[in-house]
């Protein structure tokens, strides 16, 4: 073979090897993010405490939920738990109240901006299926909410469009919630919260609540949380027919599996 042809052939082989090596060195492109995701969780809790008040008369609760998230920021979800605070009212002798389940549905839009900032707005409905005596004020409650977050902290305000959890003439009540979750060491998260429930038209029912606790995360999307909760709620108003003060200081242990 002539020298010029040999040189050309060798040059082409070298270029081919370089191109092959470059392709091998380049990582495969990351797959595009899915348009929809479906996060969910199941909890076993020593008590169901909502805004500082026990919903199960200090007894355990089984809870779970699922959410449908779109890449645009829009989402919708459902969540449920056993409760007893409504059926406990039967002891008052005002008639049979059979509801023992809470089913929540919600939808909204959330977004991140300016790196650490976040915005979340939406509509949330608390629904309590069951049988109620004639004239019983419906406990079903619908709220609109807006939350602003920065780094580990978030500030959220929820405003009722209906009566507040069966308390008559309390439309336009509101709940302000300041929460922080700080991973101070890997897999350990410090949880802190303070909130205030304003009950419109019934000042004696308004109160503040707070929480301090920690969550330990494990492999397999398991976690366990321990927290201390307390309120300054009016004991005479928030004591149920069994003599339990619903806003009493308490410890809360929760086992969670996310998926």
Q: What is the pLDDT of residues 18-75, one digit of tens each?
A: 445 445 555 566 678 899 999 999 999 999 999 999 999 999 999 999 999 999 999 9
Grouping H, G, I as helix, E, B as strand and the rest as coil, residue 255 is: strand
Q: What is the three-class DSSP state of 22?
A: helix
Domain of 178, CATH number, reads 2.40.160.40
- Decide if pLDDT at 170 tops 50: yes
* Alpha-carbon span 206 to 120, nearest angstrom: 25
pTM (predicted TM-score): 0.87
Q: Report pLDDT for 64.
A: 98
Domain of 128?
38-258
For residue 240, give the H/E element and its range.
Answer: none
Span 196-209, pLDDT tens digits: 999 999 999 999 99
pLDDT score at 90:
87
217 within a domain of the structure (yes/no): yes
19 located within any domain: no
| Contact (Cβ atoms closer than 8 angstroms) between residue 119 and residue 113 | yes
Reduced to 3 states, what is the DSSP secondary structure of residue 203? helix
Q: Is residue 3 part of a domain?
A: no
Q: Within a domain: residue 104?
A: yes
**Nearest Cα to 92, choosing from 31, 133, 138?**
133
Res 240 pLDDT > 50: yes
Residue 229's pLDDT is what?
A: 98
Q: Are 109 and 77 in contact (CB under 8 A)?
A: no
pLDDT digits (tens, 9 = 90+) for 116-139: 999 999 999 999 999 999 889 999
Domain total for the chain? 1
As a whole number, mean pLDDT of residues 227-250 equals 97
Answer whether residue 4 is part of any domain.
no
Instruction: Please give the average per-residue pLDDT across 169-176, as a whole number.
Output: 98
Residue 93 belongs to a domain:
yes
Is the Cβ–Cβ distance between 43 and 256 less than 8 Å? yes
Instruction: Give per-residue pLDDT as tens, 84-121.
Output: 999 999 887 767 899 999 999 999 999 999 889 999 99
Using alpha carbons, select from 102, 88, 26, 34 the residue that is nearest to residue 57.
88
């Amino acid at each position: 073979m002539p020298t010029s042809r040999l040189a050309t052939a060798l040059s082409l082989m070298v270029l081919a090897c370089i191109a092959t090596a470059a392709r091998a060195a380049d990582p495969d492109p990351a797959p595009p993010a899915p348009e929809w995701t479906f996060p969910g969780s199941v909890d076993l809790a020593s008590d169901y405490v909502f805004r500082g008040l026990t919903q199960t008369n200090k007894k355990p609760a089984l809870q779970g939920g699922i959410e449908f998230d779109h890449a645009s920021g829009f989402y919708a979800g459902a969540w449920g738990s056993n409760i007893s605070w409504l059926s406990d009212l039967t002891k008052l002798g005002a008639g049979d109240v059979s509801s023992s389940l809470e089913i929540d549905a919600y939808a909204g839009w959330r977004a991140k901006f300016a790196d650490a900032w976040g915005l979340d707005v939406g509509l949330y409905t608390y629904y309590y299926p069951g049988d109620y005596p004639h004239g019983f004020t419906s406990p079903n409650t619908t709220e609109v909410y807006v939350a602003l977050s920065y780094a580990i902290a978030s500030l959220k305000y929820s405003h009722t469009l209906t009566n507040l959890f069966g308390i008559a003439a309390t439309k336009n009540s509101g709940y302000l919630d300041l929460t922080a979750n700080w991973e101070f060491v890997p897999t350990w998260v410090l949880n802190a919260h303070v909130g205030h429930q304003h009950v419109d038209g019934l000042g004696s029912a308004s109160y503040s609540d707070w929480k301090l606790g920690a969550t330990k995360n494990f492999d397999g999307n398991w976690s366990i949380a321990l927290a201390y909760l307390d309120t300054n709620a009016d004991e005479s108003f928030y004591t149920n027919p069994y003599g339990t003060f619903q806003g009493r200081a308490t410890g809360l242990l929760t086992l969670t599996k996310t998926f």
